[in-house]
Chain A
Amino acid sequence: MAGYSRALQELISALNKLPGIGPKTAQRLAFYILKSSKEDAVGLSDSIVRARERLKYCSVCGSITEKDPCDYCQSPGRDKSVICVVELPQDIFVIEKTRGFKGVYHVLMGALSPLDGVGPDDLKIKQLLERIKKGGVKEIIVATNPNVEGEATAMYLSRLIHPLNIKVTRLAHGIPMGGDLEYADEVTLAMALEGRTEI
């Protein structure tokens, strides 16, 4: 990219490092930022700095928070006896949107994958066991992704936690709500048939 000034070049390559942003998009974003007002541009840069400085991982559950421990862990309204285990902090937001879960969380920071060199020690599993050992936990809901790595992680956790006489559950596989059966993909539908429940 000869011809660009050094500052522009730096901005483009910084944006290019973000996931899902290729060189073309990085260039478009950079020119957009330059075109926008100075306040907007500075505001963007400030919010990045602020977020980076203020936000940290909760020392108990691993969620992203400004306070440590986080709101989920501190709130008296939440049931500490049910822990929902997720792969990544962003999974918490998705589950929170359901408004149907009133327990607490635990973020593993990934899933078991020998291929990517992720073993049990690379995940926050030890921390989960410590939480359980402190007592009061009745149920662990494993909400890892329904793929090969997520399933293996779920099984590993269930084997680890079952001997402690704690209920371990797994999210059900099923068809999306509000859709027509006609449009459900047949593999999901087959899983839903298998996991059918009595009414």
Chain B
Amino acid sequence: MILNLKYIVLNNFRCHRALKVSFSEKVNVLTGRNASGKTNILEAIFFLSTTKSHRTSVTKELINKDSKNFYIKGEAVKNGSSLILEIGCSLGGKKAIKLNHQKIRARRDIVGQMPVVFFSPEDLYMVKENPSFRRKFLDILISQIDHRYLLNLQKYQKIIIERNRALSQVRERVLDIKMLDVWDEQVIGAGMEIIRRRQDIVSKLNRICLVIHREMTGGNEEISLEYSPSAGTEDSYRKKLEEKKRQEIEQGITTTGPHRDDVYIFFNGMNLRQFGSQGQQRTVALSMKLGELELMKEEFNEYPIILFDDVMSELDDERREYFLEILSGKRGDNGPIQSFITTTGLKPFESIKNNINIIKVEKIAPCFNQRDTTEHAV
């Protein structure tokens, strides 16, 4: 294995006041009762990798209720050299990030250093809920592969904020309407780059997911993914902004662009969101995440770290075996993949029991994260 996480230290992160866990470079199974903090360990690994939580966009929610800041440290070995990642965050919400003891200025310097794919129950939202979940899926995936995309995304968000303010100022007659052209061109420049990169990735994902999903459903279901862009070219983008201008000035918000785009998911030619059963949606979500995994492997020539939150219980025997074979290196040409799996019981791992590192997350008292449930905590 070329990349592996050796240990992680958590201080005041969610329910963990002070914790150090060491990992093996194969399959790590975290067991423990409900609310013992298993998922929080995965969340911390994901946070170290992406500087975001998969569950919340408000970083200070991750701070232990009795504390004013949290600190996470992880050490990985990457291509033979050591990679030390540290992130601290205080109630003020400001993050301090260090890479090999050096303070770093931009998120893009750390994102992608330790690539991960996170399988979690929340994946289902990606197929069931509104487009923002699908955009988030793409953004996290592409940002890890391509720093320029992340930079561009941050730039785009900034431009949108400026343009929205400009729209309001036009409505209030503070700003000349011609000034919008300048912001339109900025939006188009950054926006088209995001759209093209997403289109490229979705078409790659489409190719990969088609095969995976066929395999998972025994050839019974075909899925296809299609990026639905707000505009296909700079010219059509400009035209669209022009058409919507009047309405956008009224509302003071930019209503077209990659921040409103969607990924359409079809199974057997039908729209999955409308016509898929719960079970089908679940399987498709899984196929998409597996697609993400394979795509990252194509990009990095090796598998990323895999985080697996409580998904085992949702899988039937066949799919569980399929997964365990990938993780333990029995499928494909790679060796075992470093992975982190939470579970309440060890039964699903019977077939690879000699190849797993079991970590008991039970020493810690049961914990409650929400600040308002403190009184009920035992």
On A, residues with C-beta under 8 Å from B are 112-115, 119-120, 148-149, 151-152, 155-156, 159, 185-187, 190
Contact = CB atoms under 8 A, between A and B. Distances in A.
Interface of A is mostly: helix
B290 to A, nearest CB: 28
Contacts, number: 46
A114 B169 contact: yes
B159 interface: yes
B161 interface: yes
Interface in B15-60: none
B165 A114 contact: yes
B151 A187 contact: yes
A142 to B, nearest CB: 13
Given A114-B175, A119-B174, A155-B182, A148 B169 contact: no
Interface in B161-202: 161-163, 165-166, 169, 174-176, 179, 181-183, 185-186
B86 to A, nearest CB: 20
B353 interface: no
9 contacts: A115-B161, A120-B176, A148-B162, A149-B162, A152-B159, A152-B162, A155-B185, A185-B109, A187-B147
A120 to B, nearest CB: 7
B159 A148 contact: yes
B134 interface: no
Contacts of A156: 179, 182
Indicate the member of B108, B176, B179 with the most A CB atoms within 10 Å. Answer: B179
B68 interface: no
A113 B158 CA distance: 11
A114 B147 contact: no
Indicate the member of A119, A148, A187 with the most B CB atoms within 10 Å. Answer: A148
Contacts of B175: 114, 119
A112 B166 CA distance: 10
B165 A152 contact: no
Given A114-B165, A120-B179, A186-B147, 19 more contacts: A113-B162, A114-B162, A114-B175, A115-B161, A148-B158, A148-B159, A148-B162, A149-B162, A151-B186, A152-B159, A152-B186, A155-B182, A156-B179, A156-B182, A159-B182, A185-B109, A187-B147, A187-B148, A190-B148
